[in-house]
Amino acid sequence: MELLLLLTVLLFAHAVTYLAWAAAVRRRQSRCYLLDYVCYKPSDDRKVTTEMAGALIERNPRLGLSEYRFLLRVIVGSGIGEETYSPRNIVDSREDAPTHQDAVEEMDAFIDDAIADLFGKSGGLIKPRDVDVLVVNVSMFSPAPSIASRIVRRYGMREDVAAYNLSGMGCSAGLVSLDLARNALRTRRNATALVVSTESIAPNWYPGTDKSMMLGNMLFRRSLGLDDGDVEPARMTLHRWGNTSASSLWYVLSYMEAKGRLRRGDRVLMVTFGSGFKCNSCMWEVKGDMADKGAWADCVDDYPPANTANPYMDKFGWLNDVEGDTVML
């Protein structure tokens, strides 16, 4: 009887140990680690000031005084600074007649720079052929072959890489892509995923007179009852980089890292809103102190500026003295 009891206890202990081990393995395999990331910084010859934006509006023959006043008021009061960027075709005054090649070249500039920089930061530890899963999100440009296919070919990734190309997900696509990558990694052991979040502006500038469509050329801030400190990273990202759509969350994260605000043990909640209406969120736990200034390296010490008012407010101040169109900022 005692022997039977002993065997029962041993079998029970073995079962409990196995279940604990299995649970630990499942938990470890379900974890998703962010190894590194890069935010794209376009060349300086693509910067657009408020004065240049005003010239862009002025050269549109479709706009009357009402539309001209409306757009300038949006630009001046939106919180966007003087060092944001635009696609090459808009800088070259070809926004009215964009071509497929304009959109392709806009994507290629990003692909050639940011992704190469990301692999370079690994110091050779992670190479393109080490990538098992590739997820790309571009809402408003869906060419054939896809952007994901262009990246696979450009970097010589393996033929069996699991490549996903997401379109039409809007500004919340960044976290949708992360979730897709995490789920794909769950079916693979010790796998590596590359997530690419970007947007195509070159063929999507709206030159018409419908004011609801004009707002798509800009970005507005939602009020969530947060204080100035809470929204500082998002506001400074808007001020420095403008509307970066689905990739905004990485510029915000980079700002926090550049400011030295991410320390081991911190938890970061990412929340994104997009068309649909969609709202997505995820939680990261910081496993080590982060101090890479990334794309903010040459300007983060100047942020936050003492005053984010547009420097051309005085020049275009007359816009607010004219009754007529209104817009919520």
Residue 327 has a pLDDT of 43
Question: Residues 209-234: what's their mean pLDDT?
Answer: 75
Is it the case that residue 73 has pLDDT exceeding 80? no
pLDDT 10s digits, 152-181 = 999 999 999 999 999 988 888 999 999 999
Based on the structure, what is the number of domains in the chain?
A: 1
Residue 5 counted as domain residue:
no
Ordered alpha helix ranges (H), the chain: 2-30, 50-58, 65-77, 88-91, 100-110, 116-121, 147-154, 173-186, 211-214, 228-241, 248-258
Q: Is 270 helix (H, G, I), strand (E, B) or coil?
A: strand
Q: How does residue 285 score in pLDDT terms, banded at 50, 70 and 90? A: very high
Query: Which residue range(s) make up the domain with 304?
Result: 44-321
The CATH number given to whatever domain includes residue 151 is 3.40.47.10
The answer to the question of residue 32 being in a domain is: no
Specify if 143 maps to a domain: yes
Asked if the structure places residue 115 within a domain, the reply is yes
pLDDT value for 26: 57
| Residue position matching structure tokens 């081991």 | 264
pLDDT tens-digit readout, 175-217:
999 999 999 999 998 999 999 999 999 998 888 888 877 776 6
b/e burial code for range 214-242 (CB count within 10 A of at least 16 → b):
beebbbeeeeeeeeeeebbbbbbbbbbbb
Residue 35: inside a domain: no
What is the separation of C-alpha 135 from the centre of its chain, rounded to a whole number of angstroms? 13
Confidence of residue 317 (pLDDT cuts 50, 70, 90): low
